[in-house]
Amino acid sequence: MGFRGLRRRVTIASPLGPIHLDLTIDALIDLEPTRRGAHLSRNVEALADAALSAGGTAPSLESLLDGIARALLERHPYATRAWVRAAMVYHVEVEVPGEPGLRGVEPVDVEVSVSRSRGGASEWRVQVAVAGMSVCPSAASTVSEMLGTPREASPSHAQRVIVRGAVTTRGRMVRIEHIARALASAPSAPALTLLKREQEARLVLHAFRNQKLAEDIARDALCALARLAGGCCPEALVEVEVDSMESIHPHNVYVRRADRASGILPLC
């Protein structure tokens, strides 16, 4: 039990200087059956404790959230486990593979959660959602047969896709930037905020040369995350969801899969 939706602005150190993040935080503890309730004001105090110990600027988001979890356990001696979850919009530089100059610092939706028990290792779950573009190879193949044109030069329907991936590990947190870039490599092309006319044309041509079904995007995202997590934690849980906002249907295509990194890598 505890509070959900606590809002705080925090400052995190980075190689480029301080980063200010607006976090929406859930701060929770377990409660034994014999207790009627908890001193919930201590959950808010735990956030202040972690910020104070960081000296105003935390060295990392990981250390800040883990510090909140530790403070929750210190302020609630009757609790055996604490959970902290933070949601935010983060900005990550992504690029189009093989297309020099096609890159941008793009907003991604992020959720980071840590679960800590007394005397035990922390468990981390980092979820990132990125936007991209897909081009349907099935429709392109049919049009190609009808017109007698190469598939990559044939008209097809394109749509915006949201690729959401999560990695759960014990003892260490996989970096947000690494997950975001792994996911951005999965669609036919990543979505970029700023595109001049020539850049727009290059992005479209890249996507049509890289046609993918939603299922293809999910497989590629799974493999990218499994390679990312498998090196440090083979038993990491990898989850992927793809929402394809179809342009020729009044409904969306949805794909989901979850598995251990060790179970995914042999299939990649």
Q: pLDDT tens digits, residue range 209-221?
A: 999 999 999 999 9
pLDDT at 220: 97
CATH code: domain 87-267 is 3.10.270.10
107, two tokens: 């907003």
Q: What is the pTM of this model?
A: 0.91
Q: Which tens digit of pLDDT belongs to each residue from 174-205?
A: 999 999 999 999 999 999 999 999 999 999 99
Name the H helices within the chain: 41-53, 61-75, 137-147, 176-184, 197-209, 214-230, 261-264
High-pLDDT (> 90) share of the chain, %? 70
Segment 38-63, tens digit of pLDDT: 777 888 888 887 776 656 788 889 99
| pLDDT number for residue 54 | 58
> Where do the structural domains in the chain lie, given as residue ranges?
1-79, 87-267
Q: How far apart are CA 190 and CA 95, in angstroms?
A: 8
Q: What integer pLDDT is reported at residue 56 of this predicted model?
A: 73
- What value does the mean pLDDT take over residues 94-108? 92
> What is the residue whose two structure tokens read 């929402």?
243
- Closest residue by Cα to residue 183 from 151, 152, 229: 229
What pLDDT is attached to residue 55?
60
